[in-house]
C-alpha cells in the first residue's frame, strides 16, 4: 500500500517514469492496477481533446504542431496515440511517436502509444483508464489521437471534451457521407494540407454543411508541416468546452459501459481462443455459434 501511495505521489508531482510505470500496470491489468485507478486523484478539469479523421489526413503532424505551440507557452501536454492493433500479436502497428520525434526531449511533453485492442472506433476501456491516469499527472492538456476509419470515429466522443475531425481537400467527394456520423460528434473540423488545390472550396462546402445542420462548429484551415493556421486552432482548443449536462451524463454512461464490458470479458483468453478455433474449424460440421457457446 505504501508503494502504491508513493507511486501516486510521484505521478502527481509530474514524474514521467512513475507515470510510465502506472500506465504499464493499467494497460496490462498488473496488480495493483485496480487499486491505483480507485485511488488516484483524477483532475476533471484537464481538457481532453480527441483528434480523429481518415488515414493520411496528417493527424500526427497536426498533433506535433499543436504540441510545439502549446508547450512554447510553458504548458504541459500529454499525447496518447491510439494505433490499430496487430491481429497477430495484439500490439500497436503504426508507431505514431516516430512522427513526433522532435518532442521526445521536451520535458513538458509525455507521449505514449496504445493499441486499440480490437475496439473498432479506436477507444477501448484501457484508453479510458489511461486517460484518467494522465489526468492525475498535472498536465494542462491531453491529446488523444485515434484511428479514424469511416463512422468508427464516433467512439472518441465518449472520451473527449472536444473532438476534432481532421480532413484533407481530397475528402471533398465524401462530404455528403460526413454529415451522417461526424456532424453529431465533432466540435471542430480541421482542413489540413490546406495549401493543396481545392482546399478553399472544400472548406467553404464544409462550412455550408455545418450551417445547414444549424450547428456552431468551427472549421479551421491548417498546413501542419508549415505551422500555418495552428495559432487560431490552439486558441480554440484551450477555451473551456461549453457545459452540456445531458450530454455529459450520456457520455459518462458510455464510459461506464465500456469499463463494465471490459471487465466482464477478462476471463476470455484471446490467444487460447485462437488456438482452440484453429483445432476446431476444419472439423466436419463446424459451427461458430455452437463453438462460442462454450466461451459464453
pLDDT tens string 186-208: 889 999 999 999 899 999 988 88
- Residue 199's pLDDT is 92
Candidate from 8-12, 75-79, 92-96 with smallest mean pLDDT: 92-96
- Residue 249's pLDDT is 75
- Residue 121's pLDDT is 44
The larger pLDDT score, comparing residue 96 to residue 146, is at 146
- Residue 206's pLDDT is 87
Q: How far apart are CA 153 and CA 123, in angstroms?
A: 9
> Tell me, what DSSP letter sits at residue 153?
G
Q: What predicted TM-score, i.e. pTM, was given to this entire model?
A: 0.83
- Residue 158's pLDDT is 66
Domains of the chain, CATH where assigned: 1-40 (no CATH), 42-251 (3.40.50.300), 266-293 (no CATH)
Length of the chain: 296
Bridge partners of 115, per DSSP, are 83
The b-or-e profile of 146-162 (16+ CB within 10 A means b, else e) is bbbeeebbbbbbbbbbb
With 60 as the cut, is the pLDDT of residue 89 above it?
no
Preceding peptide of 32 cis, ω within 30°: yes
CB neighbourhood size of 10 (10 A): 17
Candidate from 37-51, 148-162, 181-195, 227-241 with smallest mean pLDDT: 148-162
With 70 as the cut, is the pLDDT of residue 85 above it?
no
Strands of 219-221's sheet, edge to edge? 109-115, 77-83, 141-145, 48-52, 162-167, 188-191, 219-221
Amino acid at each position: 500500500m505504501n508503494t502504491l501511495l508513493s507511486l501516486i505521489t510521484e505521478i502527481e508531482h509530474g514524474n514521467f517514469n512513475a507515470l510510465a510505470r502506472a500506465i504499464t500496470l493499467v494497460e496490462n491489468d498488473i496488480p495493483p492496477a485496480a487499486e491505483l485507478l480507485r485511488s488516484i486523484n483524477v483532475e476533471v478539469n484537464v481538457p481532453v481533446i480527441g483528434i480523429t479523421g481518415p488515414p493520411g489526413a496528417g493527424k500526427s503532424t497536426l498533433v506535433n504542431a499543436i504540441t510545439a505551440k502549446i508547450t512554447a507557452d510553458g504548458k504541459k501536454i500529454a499525447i496518447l496515440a491510439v494505433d490499430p492493433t496487430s491481429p497477430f500479436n495484439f500490439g500497436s502497428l503504426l508507431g505514431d511517436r516516430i512522427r513526433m520525434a522532435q518532442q521526445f526531449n521536451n520535458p513538458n511533453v509525455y507521449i505514449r502509444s496504445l493499441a486499440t485492442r480490437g475496439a473498432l472506433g479506436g477507444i477501448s476501456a484501457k484508453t479510458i483508464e489511461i486517460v484518467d491516469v494522465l489526468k492525475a499527472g498535472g498536465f494542462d492538456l491531453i491529446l488523444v489521437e485515434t484511428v479514424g476509419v469511416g463512422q468508427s470515429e464516433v467512439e472518441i466522443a465518449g472520451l473527449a471534451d472536444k473532438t476534432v475531425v481532421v480532413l484533407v481537400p481530397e475528402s471533398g467527394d465524401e462530404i455528403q457521407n460526413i454529415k451522417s456520423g461526424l456532424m453529431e460528434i465533432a466540435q471542430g473540423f480541421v482542413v489540413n494540407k490546406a495549401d493543396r488545390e481545392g482546399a478553399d472550396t472544400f472548406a467553404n462546402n464544409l462550412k455550408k454543411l455545418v450551417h445547414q445542420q444549424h450547428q456552431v462548429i468551427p472549421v479551421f484551415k491548417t498546413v501542419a508541416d508549415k505551422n500555418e493556421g495552428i495559432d487560431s486552432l490552439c486558441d480554440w482548443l484551450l477555451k473551456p468546452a461549453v457545459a452540456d449536462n445531458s450530454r455529459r451524463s450520456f457520455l459518462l454512461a458510455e464510459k461506464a459501459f465500456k469499463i463494465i464490458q471490459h471487465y466482464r470479458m477478462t476471463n476470455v483468453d484471446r490467444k487460447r481462443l485462437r488456438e482452440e478455433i484453429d483445432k476446431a474449424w476444419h472439423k466436419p460440421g463446424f459451427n461458430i455459434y455452437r463453438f462460442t457457446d462454450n466461451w459464453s
